[in-house]
Amino acid sequence: MTSNAPNSVNDEMRFRELVIRRRVERQAEFIRHLLIYVVICVMLWAINLWQLRDIGLMRTDKWWAFIPMVAWGIGVFLHGVSVGMSRLPRIPFISLDWEETKVRELMRQENAREVQ
């Protein structure tokens, strides 16, 4: 039983390192997603305003850049929530916390089977 203790400690440390690395990777993915969103939205608004220069800025039926900005913005917001970039409550099956909890639970079950 004592021979398993160092391995389980090492396994736990490796697992924690992997979890932290994955969390950092997901946060970096979110930041890239957010930056791409901002750049593309600026470009869409520039194109939209360029098109409106001839017909007048008061024609609100021609402000099409608003639609992809809002639709994609919802996706960016949910991506941010899923990686914990917000203080909003976590959504089960989306958040990294749920994933970590589930992995630990499955690891414990697997270790229990190996002991038996």
Q: What is the pLDDT of residue 99?
A: 67
Written as six digits, the tokens of 103 are 């992995």
Q: What is the pLDDT of residue 90?
A: 54
Q: What is the pTM of this model?
A: 0.63
Q: What is the pLDDT of residue 2?
A: 46
CB-facing half-sphere around the CA of 37: CA atoms within 13 A: 19
- Expressed as residue numbers, the domain containing 78 is 4-115
Q: What is the pLDDT of residue 7?
A: 66
Q: What is the pLDDT of residue 95?
A: 58
- Stretches in the chain below the pLDDT threshold 50: 1-3
Whether 8 contacts 110, CB under 8 Å: no
Number of domains in the chain: 1
User: Residue 66 and residue 110: Cα distance in Å, rounded?
Assistant: 50
